[in-house]
Amino acid sequence: MTSGVSAPTATVVGGGPAGLMAAEVLAGHGVAVTVFEHMPSVGRKLLLAGRGGLNLTHSEDPASFLTRYGETADRLAPVLAAFDPEALRGWAAGLGEPTFVGSSGRVFPQSFRATPLLRAWLARLAELGVRIETRQRWVGFGADPTVVRVTGPDGDERSIAGDVVVLALGGASWPRVGSDGGWVEAVTAAGVEVAPLRAANVGVRVAWSPVFADRFQGVPLKYVTVQVAGSPPVSGDAMVTVTGLEGGPIYAIGVAIRDALDAAGSCALTVDLRPDRSTEQLAERLARRRPKDSTSTWLRRAIGLDAIAIGLLRECAGPDLPAQPDRMAALVKAVPVRIDATMPIGRAISTAGGIAWSEVDDTLMLRRLPGVFVAGEMLDWEAPTGGYLLQASFATGAAAGRGALTRLAS
């Protein structure tokens, strides 16, 4: 930086992974960065994501990895290539948090927690001169796009001018940690197209009987395969809740579930309780029923169903289960579960919808608002759990930071 020449300035709105990554990229190149966050502290959703172990990214091959982003894979491809899982792992190691690959291919910090990583990251940002102002809510743009308007706890509004702006306010999931979707009105008022925010990676509502819900809430259906029309089968553990089902397999087919609900108002989920056995194999085992076996004993002894699996059969097919081995085998392979809705967006892990990709250029700058860049879940993309969400949040934050640097250079 030439002596006597002030550093360019950048305003970052949002203190989640995407916003903090954009701030680091900018500050690392000599830009004076101020981060505005409306919560009392930054990184709250990152801490929430790490509550059961911080799944930073995934170790699968790049081609398979990219498919996890569905219809937006082509738009995200260059962003993810520029800051891929190996780059993210290297970044974490640079903060003193080396990573390891779990048995499922998911990548975690060795400490397994988010707190040490966030603490080290904030220390790095402080060393780079990044200022963080909390309890400051963004309410819109000023007369110039790179002027942002914020209100503090007292409700007083002020305008902040910068040379570039990065918006990283998240989606609308987990509003209690800051992502409340409150930015949509101000962005659409500026003429920017925003696809409606919808729940993603979210549980589904099933009208269980009180008896089933009371007995089995919090109990997992272990290693089942689930499917709806238009989705591939997905295996894993699904958790029964008072109001429905949660878990990785449910989240993985979330797009197909939403499409079916949009089309018909409800949809049929089929649950394969024994995906490791064919219908014929199950029927052959079920044919060995002993005369005095009750239905529950028969299913437990012959094909190893546990109490919750048998309970699901009775709940969804009625108390009078078929006694014929072939009919019972077919039911076990495709238990029909009626889904009435998804859980509300505030209960979702992530959000679908957001700023349309047609509104941003290759540097993630808004075409209608020169000098304003967008990162994270504000953009219209979604992905399943397993490290894909955080990877894209970090990567789009880095891309927005690089795009803002290009703008400053020009």
pLDDT tens-place string over residues 336-386 = 999 999 999 999 999 999 999 999 999 999 999 999 999 999 999 999 999
The confidence score (pLDDT) of residue 174 equals: 84
Sheet of strand 137-141, all strands in order from the earlier edge strand to the far edge: 137-141, 147-151, 157-161
Quick one: tokens of 167? 């918006």
Bridge partners for 254 per DSSP: none
Contact 347, 167 (CB under 8 A): no
Whether residue 242 is found in the same domain as residue 186: no
Asked whether residue 244 is assigned to any structural domain, the reply reads yes
Sheet of strand 372-374, all strands in order from the earlier edge strand to the far edge: 131-134, 32-37, 9-13, 164-167, 372-374
DSSP conformation class of 206? -
> Which range has the worst mean pLDDT, 37-46, 171-180, 190-199?
171-180
Whether residue 185 is found in the same domain as residue 225: no
| C-alpha to C-alpha distance for 199 and 228, rounded to whole angstroms | 18
Bridge partners for 374 per DSSP: 167
Whether residue 190 is found in the same domain as residue 291: no
Contact 259, 227 (CB under 8 A): no
Handedness of CA 268, 67, 83, 54 (dihedral sign): positive
Asked whether residue 65 is assigned to any structural domain, the reply reads yes
Report CA 345 to chain centroid distance, whole Å: 12
The confidence score (pLDDT) of residue 18 equals: 98
pLDDT tens digits, one per residue of 249-290: 999 999 999 999 999 998 999 999 999 999 999 999 999 999
| C-alpha to C-alpha distance for 165 and 190, rounded to whole angstroms | 15
Asked whether residue 4 is assigned to any structural domain, the reply reads no
Whether residue 83 is found in the same domain as residue 190: yes
DSSP helix/strand/coil, 383: coil
Domain final residue, candidates 342, 360, 383: 342
Determine the average pLDDT of the residues in 107-123: 96
Q: Tokens 């970044």 sit at which residue? A: 91
| C-alpha to C-alpha distance for 247 and 268, rounded to whole angstroms | 17
Domain final residue, candidates 320, 342, 364: 342
Report CA 204 to chain centroid distance, whole Å: 16
Whether residue 296 is found in the same domain as residue 401: no
| C-alpha to C-alpha distance for 321 and 308, rounded to whole angstroms | 15
Whether residue 137 is found in the same domain as residue 109: yes
Whether residue 182 is found in the same domain as residue 231: no
Query: Is 50 exceeded by the pLDDT of residue 238?
Result: yes
Query: Is 70 exceeded by the pLDDT of residue 147?
Result: yes
> Which range has the worst mean pLDDT, 9-13, 171-175, 182-186, 396-400?
171-175
Determine the average pLDDT of the residues in 40-54: 93
Domain count, the chain: 2
Dihedral class, residue 398 (left if φ above 0, else alpha if ψ from -120 to 50, else beta): alpha
Domain final residue, candidates 300, 321, 342: 342
Q: What percent of the chain has pLDDT over 70?
A: 99
Count the Cβ atoms, other than its own, within 10 Å of residue 86: 12
| C-alpha to C-alpha distance for 396 and 410, rounded to whole angstroms | 21
Which CATH number covers residue 356?
3.50.50.60
Query: What is the band of 178 on the pLDDT scale with cuts at 50, 70, 90?
Result: confident
Asked whether residue 355 is assigned to any structural domain, the reply reads yes
Q: Are strands 350-355 and 32-37 parallel, antiparallel or unpaired?
A: unpaired
Query: What is the band of 26 on the pLDDT scale with cuts at 50, 70, 90?
Result: very high
Whether residue 222 is found in the same domain as residue 323: yes
Quote the domain boundaries for residue 59: 9-200+350-409
Contact 359, 384 (CB under 8 A): no
Whether residue 252 is found in the same domain as residue 315: yes
Whether residue 331 is found in the same domain as residue 366: no
Handedness of CA 154, 157, 158, 159 (dihedral sign): positive
Asked whether residue 3 is assigned to any structural domain, the reply reads no
Whether residue 70 is found in the same domain as residue 132: yes
Whether residue 146 is found in the same domain as residue 281: no
Average pLDDT over the chain reads 95
